Amino acid sequence: MESRFLAGVFKLALAVVAVPAMADQPAGFAGTGNVEVAASLPAEAAGVVVTPAGRMFLTLPRVGANHALPSLVEVVGGKPVAFPDAATTLPSNKPYAEWIVSPLGLTLHGDTLWVLDEGKRAGIDGIPDGAAKIVGIDIPSRKIVKTIVFHQPFFRDTIQLNDLRFDPGHGAAGTIYISNNGYAKPDNSLIVVDVATGRMRELFRDQPETSPAPGFMTYVEGEPHAYSVDHPSMPQGGVNGIELSPDGKTLYWTIPTNPNYYSLPTAALSDFSLSEDALKKAVHFEGQTFSNGGIATDDAGALYFGDASRYAILKKDTHGGFSLVARDPRLIWPDGLYCRNGYLYVSIGQWQRLPGLHGGKDLRRPPYQVLRIRLK
């Protein structure tokens, strides 16, 4: 999901300037023809999950635009509807810990939605106490069953709570793993949270395994861009995509501005008694891939990556082979990915069109889409 470049563009994000429409399809583009629209929205979606019964839930963060729409929605009849209710998801004067301010990450375990609220809103400096948190919501009852707030000194305004996964196999009530993409230069890490106690630890801060690669370059909407701390021209940052293997034994993570990606056994990662040095020795280099946002896995254990540089979705099977899942001109920034019922759902970001990357011109344009791809 969106990256540390946003730290310098929040105040510009609300200023919309009329610009010529961008081409929908690159010249000579040949798509795979297997991509369809699952939802069209008035605001940009980030996290996406779909239940076995087909109910779709989305986070609508306020970090790119401080909108007045619900921040967490269910798509009902093609329309976004506040979930669990308007009082929890609309802007409020209540204490920040009591409403969902600006969520990015979203995951599902059983009947519980786990929401990661980064707490950052466009045009507002800092992240107020109580805004950054984890929220567990029971879907059938629409009740909040758990809230874990990130307080200082553990929490810093330079932490960007990006995405999360819930591991039911470790800890008395499970363990949550979080990617910190970072708002500062640099500030990247993994965060581990014990759900029962709220105990937290931060790992691998600004280490090569969570950080951008010096000299990294890629293509965004057909144009070349190089990683630059001081002069960003594309979304960039540290560890971003995060995913559990189907058996819950392995956590994978990717970095949008680093082709290397890694994994760690969850038995070690969830063990607060192990030192960081011991955990670093357990990190496994998985290889290289393109992954500008979230990642997903299917029931067989294959991994899926969004590759904005090629308007594509890639698959890595359990034997290590890569294949092309989809190619489509609408895959301008594959952000959140989620597999369910033989489909891959992909939220499409427009973070690369924010005004701070284009001389103050806001190149974003609605509707914002969630796409669906049938998997073979």
Neighbour order of strands in the sheet with 56-59: 48-50, 56-59, 72-76, 79-82
The reported pLDDT for the residue numbered 348 is: 96
How far apart are the C-alpha atoms of 71 and 120, rounded to whole Å?
12
pLDDT category, 28, cuts 50, 70, 90?
low
Q: What is the CATH number of the domain that holds 305?
A: 2.120.10.30
Between the alpha carbon of residue 152 and those of residues 126, 159, 291, 323, the distances in Å are 13, 11, 31, 44
pLDDT digits (tens, 9 = 90+) for 363-376: 889 999 999 999 98
Residue 77 scores a pLDDT above 90: yes
The reported pLDDT for the residue numbered 183 is: 84
Question: What is the extent of the structural domain holding 267?
Answer: 4-24+33-374
| Contacts of range 311-316, beta carbons closer than 8 Å, 24 or more positions apart | 311/26, 311/29, 311/31, 313/337, 313/344, 313/346, 313/373, 314/289, 314/290, 316/289
The reported pLDDT for the residue numbered 104 is: 97
Q: Are 150 and 161 in contact (CB under 8 A)?
A: yes
pLDDT category, 10, cuts 50, 70, 90?
very low
**How much is the average pLDDT of 111-121?**
98
The reported pLDDT for the residue numbered 235 is: 86
The reported pLDDT for the residue numbered 26 is: 59
The reported pLDDT for the residue numbered 157 is: 93
Residue 77, phi then psi, degrees to nearest 5: 60, 30
How many domains would you assign to the chain?
1
Give 161's strand partners. 180
pTM, full prediction: 0.92
**How much is the average pLDDT of 258-280?**
98
Query: Amino acid identity, residue 126?
Result: G
Phi-psi region for residue 144, left (φ > 0), alpha (ψ -120 to 50) or beta?
beta
CA atoms within 13 A on the CB side of 254: 25
The reported pLDDT for the residue numbered 14 is: 33
Mean pLDDT of the chain: 91
Q: Which of 218, 225, 266 is nearest to 357 (CA)?
A: 225
Residue 79 scores a pLDDT above 70: yes
Q: Which residues contact 352 (CB under 8 A, 6 or more apart)?
A: 220, 221, 234, 235, 308, 332, 333
How far apart are the C-alpha atoms of 187 and 112, rounded to whole Å?
30
How far apart are the C-alpha atoms of 115 and 103, rounded to whole Å?
7
pLDDT digits (tens, 9 = 90+) for 318-359: 999 999 999 999 999 999 999 999 999 999 999 888 888 888
Q: What percent of the chain has pLDDT over 70?
A: 93
